[in-house]
A = this chain, B = another copy of it.
Amino acid sequence: MAKETQSMALSVKKADDISTWYTEVIQKANMADYTDVSGCIVFKPYSYAIWEKIVKTVDDRLKAMGVKNVYFPLFIPERLLQKEEAHVEGFSPEVAWVTHAGDTKLDERLAIRPTSETIMYENYKNWVRSWRDLPMKLNQWNNVVRWEFKHPVPFLRTREFLWNEGHTVFATKAEAEKECNDILNMYDAVLRDHFALYGVKGKKTEKEKFAGAEYTMSIELLLPNGRAIQGPDAHHDGQNFAKAFGIKFLDKNEKEQYAWQNTWAITTRMIGVMIMMHGDDKGLVLPPKLAPITVAIVPIIFKDSKEKVIKKAREIKEKLKDYAVELDDREEYSAGWKFNEYEMKGVPIRIEIGPKDVAAGHVVMVRRDTMKKEFVKVKDIVPKIKKTLESIHDNLYKKSKKIFEEGVVEVKSMAEFKKAIDSKKMVKALFCGKKECEDLIKDETGGASSRNIPFGQKLVTGKCVHCGKQARYSVYFGKGY
């Protein structure tokens, strides 16, 4: 029983040292492993199964919105990457370059896509000719590489990651802006209904917007350690890329117009956010909609009652066939070891069943989020599991909302601002919107950056928290993960 001797417990508490906790939990829960390529991880089956669930729900929603999937090359010739000025400036410091094929030096360096605008739009310009071709809503699911030099963290900051990148083209700015908003709402629904994560929708400041966009909208989240992190985003590019790449069409009056574009994405980073947000001192806590195993059934096996218990466990599995149920009847592991394992893996519900339970016509149900145990009659199991999964989801969502709400301090002065940041809070403050002012705030607070300008603001009256000039809006600031 070699495996039994391996300690499953985490060596630190999440509240004491979340970084060590995170590193341990992703390894002990079999989510990821390091590789010989610095900053790149293996997505092990357990985390990849979560990604498949994320892909499925986002992809279904995109298809319902009329978006079609495509696949463009991994490589971008250097001269294409340079076509949009702000874009190349933003990305070139992080680009991985292919210079040779076999023994042959290439005539032109090829970038590994950090994002695909510049390889896609060179074709788009040939595909968009008339108003009849619009809207054109394309998306791809792929891998991208951004050679960040900051300390890599599995899922949260990896040099290669997986994502979807949507690239849509419209005849009018109004249509493009409407879609940008619809997409952000779609991502928000996925975060709420599948990740059980609360985030705040808003617009990025000029300083923080996507390289090449007219503006960027994002969903911002707050981790339990007071670090802000960005979720999915949607960029309205205006006509910036259309002008750089010549994406033009004849409108209904036969007049040539530049097209309007959006781009938007959700990435594997969200797996990391979910781990950090929901996990506890026993390991992962997975939201039911994304859990590869929804219910683990652990039979308590004694020699003389084994057959009877396994039989009942199989019956229960059959009753629950609408869920991903794992009946773990391995005999080389003890029940206690299995309990620890499913706790570490964050399986939403565990069912224990021994000979006495069979006799009594019930099972023991343990929900992972609260670790609350209760007896459940076998005849009630189907509705009970359904209700409990919903309750787990709601509980996780509420907790993540509470972390956000309790983690934000509204500040009126830079003294309050600094105090809040020092005590690991996010702040909400009136702000003038100027890049120079934002640069100074970052310097003076030891690294707090603007997160977003939340939607739904009434007309703002008041002064910028930093420069004291007329404020434009209320903005979230915080230290990023």
Q: Which residues of A contact B (CB under 8 A)?
A: 2-3, 33, 35-37, 40-45, 48-49, 51-52, 68-77, 80, 92-103, 109-110, 112, 119, 122-123, 126-127, 129-130, 132, 138, 142-143, 145, 147, 149, 160, 162, 250, 332
Contact = CB atoms under 8 A, between A and B. Distances in A.
B98 A97 contact: yes
A101 B110 contact: no
Nearest to A3: B132
B93 A100 contact: no
Dominant secondary structure at the A interface: mixed
A103 B147 CA distance: 11
Contact of A36 (B36, B119, B147): B119
Given A42-B123, A332-B132, A48 B35 contact: no
Nearest to A107: B38
Q: Which 8 residue pairs spanning A and B have beta carbons closest together?
A: A101-B147, A45-B68, A40-B73, A43-B71, A97-B100, A93-B102, A37-B75, A99-B99
Given A48-B71, A74-B160, 4 more contacts: A40-B75, A96-B101, A97-B99, A100-B109
Contacts of A68: 45, 48-49
A421 to B, nearest CB: 30
A145 B94 contact: no
Contacts of A72: 35, 42-43
A112 B98 CA distance: 9
- Copy tally for this chain in the complex stands at 2
Contacts of A112: 74, 98, 112
11 contacts: A33-B127, A35-B72, A37-B73, A45-B69, A74-B74, A74-B143, A74-B160, A75-B96, A94-B101, A97-B98, A97-B100
A129 B40 CA distance: 24
A73 B45 CA distance: 14
A129 B112 CA distance: 36
Contacts of A95: 101-102
A80 B40 CA distance: 15
Given A33-B123, A123-B33, A74 B129 contact: no
A102 B92 CA distance: 6
A37 B96 contact: no
A229 to B, nearest CB: 22
A51 B54 CA distance: 20
A465 B70 CA distance: 48
Contacts of A35: 72-73, 119, 122-123
B93 A97 contact: no
B36 A71 contact: no
A48 B70 contact: yes
Interface-centre pick from A35, A52, A103, A119 (highest chain B CB count, 10 A): A35
Contacts of A37: 73, 75-77, 110, 119
Nearest to A136: B45
Contacts of A110: 37, 96
A250 B93 CA distance: 47
A149 B51 CA distance: 36
B36 A80 contact: yes
A3 B132 CA distance: 9
A366 to B, nearest CB: 26
Contact of A69 (B48, B92, B129): B48
A102 B42 contact: no
A143 B142 contact: yes
Contacts of A2: 129-130, 132, 250
